[in-house]
Amino acid sequence: MADHEVIVPPGQEKSYERFHFAPAVKTGNTVYVSGVIGLGADGSVPTEASDEFTNAFDQLSATLEAAGASLADVVELTSFHVDMAATLRDFIRAKDEAVAEPYPAWTAIGCTELAFPGARAEVKATAVLTDR
């Protein structure tokens, strides 16, 4: 049996059951967070890209918290962008408001679409817990 813990933050149980993926998995001192899209409270993509990206980092933070981690523990970010040239500045602003130094490694990838229609970006992360 694998030595890992599936992390399902409150409110994401239906997604776990319906789509068969863990929002995060913790193994040892490492937390792997699945891609997060910044949906609004009503479950739709916000009109403004900046709101969508802020929501994504808020949701990433909440998932990390459910695993006993925080954005300060993130060592790697990967983001996927639809129409990256048009929204990357807004994404960077949201990232910089959420993530402080020392900054994690980050890869931004352009793509044609994401799993949620209308979403502009998705962000996944790897965090490493250290003694605090």
Q: Is 91 exposed, middle or buried (0-12, 13-18, 19+ CB in 10 A)?
A: buried
What is the domain range of residue 121?
A: 5-128
Q: What is the mean pLDDT of residues 31-43?
A: 95
Q: 80 and 119 in contact (C-beta within 8 Å)?
A: no
Which pLDDT score is estimated for 1?
Answer: 45
Q: What are the structure tokens assigned to 61, written together?
A: 């933070």
**C-alpha to C-alpha distance for 54 and 69, rounded to whole angstroms:** 19
Mean pLDDT score, 69-74: 97
**Across residues 26-30, what is the average pLDDT?**
96
Q: The domain spanning residue 71 has which CATH number?
A: 3.30.1330.40
For the whole prediction, is pTM greater than 0.85?
yes
User: How many structural domains does the chain have?
Assistant: 1
pLDDT at 130: 84
pLDDT at 119: 97
CB-based contact 53:121 (threshold 8 Å):
yes
Mean pLDDT of 84-113: 97
pLDDT of residue 131: 67
Q: How many CB atoms lie within 10 A of CB 113?
A: 10
